[in-house]
Amino acid sequence: MLKAFCPSMWIKSIHEIRSENLIESGIRGVILDLDNTLIHWGFKLQSETVTEELASARSWICSLTSAGLKVCIVSNNAPARVKALADIMGVPALAKAGKPRRRAFLKALDLMCTGTADTICIGDQVFTDVFGANRIGLRTILVAPLTKREFIGTRILRIFEFLVLCLLRQRGWIKLSSFR
């Protein structure tokens, strides 16, 4: 049961991930979480202003798509917010995804025309991103959250997530690594 929460890799930031490494690993599609993975939770989109954080995330996504990788954002957040940010990033997105349910992950695979063997999911939460993606057989990369400021429900889940990560590390199933 514990293996269901085990990411394939655990790293500090999306910026450690290079498109060439994904491609060498047989990856063609990338499912991305939004909040605390690409941008900090509570990020406010200010009309035409592109912040350094947003530009950095967009640049990283462009490096993936320029290399031929397909990308789709899958978020539990509100449709208007997710759509606005996905439009800036230039990729499709699914909002109100209901992660860890399988449906949104499977829909993202359909949108990207990829399968479970050649798609990876990247997110900051064990109980939504990693567990949901593992349920359909995707490889997963867990990243450290960008900020400690989060939705109250997420803060509570982080306590249990910490315990699960400790157990996974004790058993030698994961370690903090680099993916360069």
Helix extents (H) in the chain: 19-24, 52-66, 79-89, 102-112, 131-135, 152-170
Q: Are 105 and 136 in contact (CB under 8 A)?
A: yes
User: What are the residue ranges spanned by the domains of the chain?
Assistant: 2-170
This prediction has a pTM of 0.89
User: pLDDT tens-digit profile of 1-16?
Assistant: 888 999 999 999 999 9
pLDDT of 180 > 80? The answer is no
Please tell me the CATH superfamily of domain 2-170, with its number: HAD superfamily/HAD-like (3.40.50.1000)
d(CA 86, CA 17) in angstroms, rounded, equals 19
Residue 33 token pair: 């979480």
Q: 3-state DSSP: the chain helix, strand, coil percent, rounded to 5?
A: 45, 15, 40
User: pLDDT tens-digit profile of 70-80?
Assistant: 999 999 999 99
d(CA 104, CA 133) in angstroms, rounded, equals 10
Place of tokens 């950095």: 56
